[in-house]
Amino acid sequence: MASPESTPTPTANVSPSSSQTLPKALPKVARRSPFLPTTLETALLSIYPAVLLLGSLFALLDPSARNAPYNATTQSHHAETAPSYFAKKSNIFNKFFVKQGWAWVTFSYFFFLFTHPSAGPALNITPKRIRGAFRYGIVTLWWIFVTQWFFGPAIIDRGFRLTGGQCELVREAEAGNVDMDDTRQVVTAFACKAIGGKWKGGHDISGHVFLLVLGSMFLFEEVFHAVFRSQKKKEQRTIFMLDGATKSAEVEADPSGNLSVERQAYWTLGAKIVLGVAGLSVYMLLMTAAYFHTWFEKFTGLVVALGGIFVVYFVPRALPPLRGVIGMPGL
């Protein structure tokens, strides 16, 4: 009989490695929503409310601006008592830059688009340039709808009328020489001024704020994404694929992109002109915030402008069919 010491002790059938702790699967990191701005876009978008707030505070705190007579109908200071050169509608920057704002945006953008190496050899018509032209077309259409024509009066004019605004021929009405019922039927600010009237009484979305925000943010989106993508910066934008998966926009980058050019070459003359136009737009936005319009009119101008930017630069990230037509800058 075997002694107790010699009796083998039953053991579980365990492999040598089973006693080691198996590594746990790393949790999947949730990707940024395609609708959320990147770090760069967040910084750019924050500029606009900050500039409007700064300008509005200046108008409240500066004694010369606060005490200067203000015409609520024209939403500006009287030229004779304007507290600053920039408070006059006749200032050279307002006349030749802001009033012609979309022409400056158009020229600078297409000069950049057709000369920047990220879109292919200069002046060649490439798929990137065609998609860039489509994006410009949509942004321009939004500018037309808001300020020029929207199946009749522009959105600004329609909004003014819907909030109780109308055309009044003040001087002639006071003299009893005009039927106010007729002049109230004028449906655009341009037509009202053309017949010598004043456009007053409703909410006037700031066309200056709208133009300056829309134009500058459009240019910022185009140039920064193109240049940083060309310099192989980390891509933070995400997109929805056809199967619903969220992936980095990197997956749709053009593998044939011209990335052999030296880094400095991407800050081309066209890119610098675009930044110059966008930078001057932001400065004139500050002047507008300081000397023109009420805070609510400036706010609605900002919101309407950013609505157009959202449609062109954020919605396509979630809609592959739309992205296939207008693309994304830099990809």
CA distance readout (Å), 90 to 8, 78, 99, 195: 105, 11, 10, 21
152 backbone φψ class: left, alpha, beta (φ>0; ψ -120 to 50) = left
At 207, is the secondary structure helix, strand, or coil?
helix
Q: Which amino acid is at 166?
A: Q
User: To 5 degrees, how large is the angle CA 138–CA 141–CA 47?
Assistant: 70
8 A C-beta contact, residue 31 and residue 247: yes
Q: What's the CA dihedral at 113, 118, 120, 121 to 10 degrees?
A: 80
Catalytic residue numbers read 208, 293
Identify the residue whose tokens are 């007729």: 182
CA atoms within 13 A on the CB side of 174: 3
Beta strands in the chain (DSSP E): 70-71, 76-77, 166-168, 198-200, 238-240, 246-248
Residues 6 or more apart whose CB falls under 8 angstroms from that of 314 comprise 34, 35, 37
Q: Which residue has the tokens 């900050």?
A: 50
Which pairing describes strands 76-77 and 238-240: parallel, antiparallel, or unpaired?
Answer: unpaired
Identify any residues that bridge with 168 across adjacent strands, giving them in sequence order.
198
AA letter at 321: P
The terminus-to-terminus CA distance of the chain in angstroms comes to 83
